[in-house]
Structure 1
Amino acid sequence: METAEFPAATSATDGWEPTLAAALLGAERAPPAPPGPLADLVAEADPGAALLARLAAEGALHRAGTGLGPEALAPTEPRDAFGPECPPAAATRLYGLLSEGYSARGRVEEWFALAAASGVRPPAWLFQALMLHRDSLPATAPAVVGAELDWLARACGEAPAREAAADGAEAADWAEGSVAERRAAFAAFRARDPEGARAALEPVFRKEKADIREALVHALATGLSPADEPFLEACLDDRAGGVRLAAQHLLPNLAGSRYAARMAARARAALTIESKRRLLGGTTHSLVVTLPEESPELARDGVEVNTWERRGGGARASLLRSILGRAPLEAFAEHPPRLWIELALRSEWADPVFHGLFSAAKRTLDPAWSEAMADITAEAYEGKVTGVRRTNEVLGMWAEALDLLPDAAWEARVGALIRARKIEVVLAVLAQGPEHFSEPFTATLLDWLAFVTRGSDALRRDLAKPWVIARLGDRLFPSEDAAAAAAAILARLPEEDTDRLRTQLTGLTGVLDLRAAIRRDFRSETTTGGMAQG
């Protein structure tokens, strides 16, 4: 038999066919493997074993379907270690949470917050799962695992997320793309250079379509400053209603603007306090309300009556409420906030006056007004404000007013209500309040829940009715003690109790236990095999 001629191996040639042909010739008669990275893998001295090794190496490359030569097997860049890995239990927990999808989104966010606080990172075996969820990871994730995911993206021939985002932020042209894309790009421009962004917008603004103009005006909320006032004032005369509404939404947030001055003048014209000295000493105060009239000037500033209000006969009251809500609180500086609020509640125009003042306080979060709102509404519900009846509406006002306070002040006031065993009020205010409770307040609240659930059937029915308890699992501080206390409350619930309360407590206990377990996962192991708080 003549010796077969084999094509010379090149860097771009698949070596599978020559190796297969060599196998057909027989191990003893096969030509040697061409030099290269794959040939270096064949260390067997026996011809038969060497040919089998060649078949394995070339076959693996061939089955991969790359169509590339051995030089394509270049190593990736080294992966730097950016910090210690999280404990194995925490890594396993994260994998399980990612597998649950959207339903566990809050817990994934909590996991990354804990990882960031602990200075640890997920292990390498989690990178692929994290890459699959890269677009939906929480805002804290890049600080924890961003460098590793960028490394993996480069290894896979993709653009690293952070580099792509940075390049996009710099290169995105706010003058092109869909409405949403242009709004986002312009907001990014504003975040980098507020003055430059507005200066670039002004000369081309009138040439844009109405929906684009509206979106770009809304984007001015990023970096809003008094320098934007002239442009926004001009937008009040835009031919498109959406553009006018966008400007009317932003202008009340500019203290000292012409818009604020107009609203302040209207508020002072609509509300005044008359004070009279009594013969036997002291002073009486009364609120004088002058309902505004509709006008083109009011409409230009966004103070208009909708169809429902016009049909209901409350057009002028609606104008009053809108004016007060848009006015700066400095318009009422002649008297203390407490007096304005108390007189508003006692007025025959209580609804538009109180809610207008409340809107202004909520917009500015002025501490003095927030405190006064919380004080007066509490007194009103307790029957301490003359002429104001104790109603569910007043209770709702109280709950909303408490929500204006800083978290610590809110907890202090609600803690006092809990200690006073006012179940109706506590349930109403728990519907508002901080997103997350402190550890001391959590303990107080769980003690109160234990007390109420041990009470009468009527108390437990009242507790279950507003469906507030079910949502507490995400807000309570997730300590081991809190999880144990919640489980004990559920265990002691009478068997014959309603499914409504049992369902809520079961959900609360499950969420709180999971959150406590996530924290427990981050505890580092000690050298003796025990666990220490991380």
Structure 2
Amino acid sequence: MPPAGDGWEPALAAALLGAERAPPAADPLSVSLAVSLAGADPGGALLARLAAHATLHRAGAGLGPEALIPAEPRARIGLECPPAAATRLHGLLADGPSAAARLAEWCTLAAARGMRAPDWLLPALAARRDTLADAIDGIAAPELAWLGRARGDSGEGAEQPADWTDGTVAERRAAFTAWRARDPEAARLALEPVFRKEKADLREALVGALETGLSEADEPFLEACLDDRGGGVRMAAQRLLPHLPAARYAARMARRARAALAIESRGGFPEGTTHSLVVTLPEASPDLARDGVTADAWQNWSGGARATLLRAILECAPPSAFCDHPPELWIGLALQNDWAKPILDGLHAMVRRTRDPAWALALADVLGRACAGDRERPANALIAFWAQALALLPEAAWEARVGAVIRARRFEVLPDLLAHGPDRFSEGFSAALLDGLAVACRGSGDLRQSLGKGGVIGGLGERLWSGADAAASAAALVARLPEEGGGRLREHLMDLAATLALRAAMRRDFEPDTEREGARG
């Protein structure tokens, strides 16, 4: 209902009747307008009356008395960013999704300096929270919450968590996943007695939802799911059980791995001990199939179906299956074996799943020595495998090993190594990499052509440290690149320089005016 005294309805009725036939207005606003517009033509007076009442009507439509209560005072968090940074933020918000990476970086820079966005950009920031919630909340969470309360959407009286026993499959899975996030044990206990009564597609979805909050307490239920009548349910359980190292599933895989791979040692003092890897390819069986180990035709290598079974067993085995010898020995012997590819692929998948630090380090270092030991350029497949193994290391360890490659001027393998690794590089590694690229760009035409493949160099602008020195070094790379033979590398270096220049400018936006004026002077 419109508020008392609203003259919108009478004004609208007058317009429908026509300016000449409308009765005289009786409300105070219309009378006041009639006096002020004395002598005006009837049509113009009616239009002015409609405009005035429409404004008041829209301003008060749907609002109760509580709308007149002033909003709570807003506590200001941090200092407002400098005008240059605010202008940059406005441009990033106007650019839409294409500027998401830069917008997230702007928020990170502001949060690191304890700064906030200006008030006039809060509504635009609120509109981007659905895709960049973490970044935006880091600089504006209290203010956006205040803005929500001022708008009347504070979230009070929000719906209770959805009932996981009702709705579509997607709705029930989402509700059950939310419950698992709050109380994993209670959610699974509630699922167990009714699980068999549900349809297969829902059973599969709910088993998949157990990934949230997964623990050894879920093992008995997941083990039972291996015998479910639904193939999708069995596959969902097979995906989760390898992540439980104390489960019966892991023990079975460990036994199979030890049966497939063994190290034989011969000799001793004074000749020394020699080791060899004995491989026994597994046979397909119902027990293997129950645990999800099957030889799919599209996975077959030249070794045939049994080689794919070997790889799958090693992938699902726990690292403890190989505890009788150090990881370096297993990996080194695997490199020399006729079944090197399925063995190393399986071990790499095991390390990627478990993130075992000793195995990750051994895999990266043994493969690195193998690549360095080749007199000629090592095989592309070996380099790619080494790069993937390095990516399993912590950031500092990855930078240390790739930094050694740069110092050794093995630039031909850099694109493969840089295609993986951390999303952000440290300042020291960034400087070393840019220095190495400066040397590489003065190398042979073949080397420059190799560096230009794949677009890896152009994408480094998002990962390198974004200081002014890095931006200047990247610009110098473009300037010093030989005119002949630049090709794609020139384009990638120009992209790199442009991205770093933009990111460096964003950092300067947050500097106080005095510092920026001093830099210009």
Q: What TM-score, normalized by structure 2, do the two folds share?
A: 0.86
Aligned-partner Cα distance in 1 for 2:455–2:442: 18
Match for residue 44 of structure 2?
A: none
Aligned-partner Cα distance in 2 for 1:74–1:11: 16
Q: 391, 396, 402: which one pairs with 2:390?
A: 402
The 3-state SS of whatever aligns with 1:277 is: strand
**Amino acid paired to 1:259:** Y
Confirm or deny that 1:193 pairs with 2:183. Answer: yes
Alignment deviations for residues 117-150 of structure 1 (CA, whole Å, 9 cap, x no partner):
2222211211232233332234221242233334
Indicate conservation of the 8 Å contact 2:161/2:175, yes or no. Answer: no
Q: 93, 97, 107: which one pairs with 1:112?
A: 107
Q: How does 1:98-137 map to 2 (within 5 A)?
A: 98-137=93-132
Q: CA deviation at 1:104?
A: 1.1
Match for residue 139 of structure 1?
A: 134
Confirm or deny that 1:82 pairs with 2:71. Answer: no
Indicate conservation of the 8 Å contact 1:524/1:531, yes or no. Answer: no
Q: CA deviation at 1:496?
A: 3.7
Q: How does 1:130-529 map to 2 (within 5 A)?
A: 130-157=125-152, 159-160=153-154, 163=155, 167=158, 170-277=160-267, 280-309=270-299, 314-383=304-373, 390-526=378-514
Q: CA deviation at 1:203?
A: 1.6
Q: CA deviation at 1:11?
A: 3.9
The 3-state SS of whatever aligns with 1:66 is: helix
Match for residue 43 of structure 2?
A: none
Q: CA deviation at 1:242?
A: 1.5
**Amino acid paired to 1:174:** W
Q: CA deviation at 1:485?
A: 1.0
Aligned length: 502
**Amino acid paired to 1:86:** C
Deviates more, 1:129-138 or 1:473-482: 129-138
Indicate conservation of the 8 Å contact 1:267/1:327, yes or no. Answer: yes
Aligned-partner Cα distance in 2 for 1:310–1:455: 41
Indicate conservation of the 8 Å contact 2:317/2:350, yes or no. Answer: yes
The 3-state SS of whatever aligns with 1:437 is: coil
Deviates more, 1:444-453 or 1:310-319: 310-319
- For structure 2, list consecutive stretches of 5 or more residues without a partner in the other structure: 41-46
Alpha carbons of structure 1 residues 134 and 353: separation in structure 2 relative to 1, 3 Å = closer
Q: CA deviation at 1:326?
A: 0.6
- For structure 1, list consecutive stretches of 5 or more residues without a partner in the other structure: 1-8
**Amino acid paired to 1:512:** L
Aligned Cα root-mean-square deviation (Å): 3.5
| Percent of paired sites with the same residue | 54
Alignment deviations for residues 241-292 of structure 1 (CA, whole Å, 9 cap, x no partner):
2111111111111111111111111111111111111574211111111111
**Amino acid paired to 2:144:** L
**Amino acid paired to 1:147:** P
Aligned-partner Cα distance in 2 for 1:136–1:367: 33
Alpha carbons of structure 1 residues 137 and 51: separation in structure 2 relative to 1, 3 Å = farther
Q: CA deviation at 1:530?
A: 4.3
Indicate conservation of the 8 Å contact 1:251/1:259, yes or no. Answer: yes
Aligned-partner Cα distance in 2 for 1:404–1:144: 32
Indicate conservation of the 8 Å contact 1:523/1:531, yes or no. Answer: no
Indicate conservation of the 8 Å contact 1:380/1:389, yes or no. Answer: no
Alpha carbons of structure 1 residues 62 and 237: separation in structure 2 relative to 1, 3 Å = same
Aligned-partner Cα distance in 2 for 1:88–1:487: 27
Indicate conservation of the 8 Å contact 1:112/1:138, yes or no. Answer: no
Match for residue 6 of structure 1?
A: none
Q: CA deviation at 1:194?
A: 0.9
The 3-state SS of whatever aligns with 2:80 is: coil
Alpha carbons of structure 1 residues 67 and 253: separation in structure 2 relative to 1, 3 Å = closer
Q: CA deviation at 1:177?
A: 3.2
Aligned-partner Cα distance in 2 for 1:99–1:468: 29
Alpha carbons of structure 1 residues 209 and 115: separation in structure 2 relative to 1, 3 Å = farther
Indicate conservation of the 8 Å contact 1:218/1:246, yes or no. Answer: yes
Q: What TM-score, normalized by structure 1, do the two folds share?
A: 0.84
The 3-state SS of whatever aligns with 1:139 is: helix
The 3-state SS of whatever aligns with 2:454 is: coil
Match for residue 91 of structure 2?
A: 96
The 3-state SS of whatever aligns with 1:519 is: helix
Aligned-partner Cα distance in 2 for 1:373–1:211: 39
**Amino acid paired to 2:399:** E
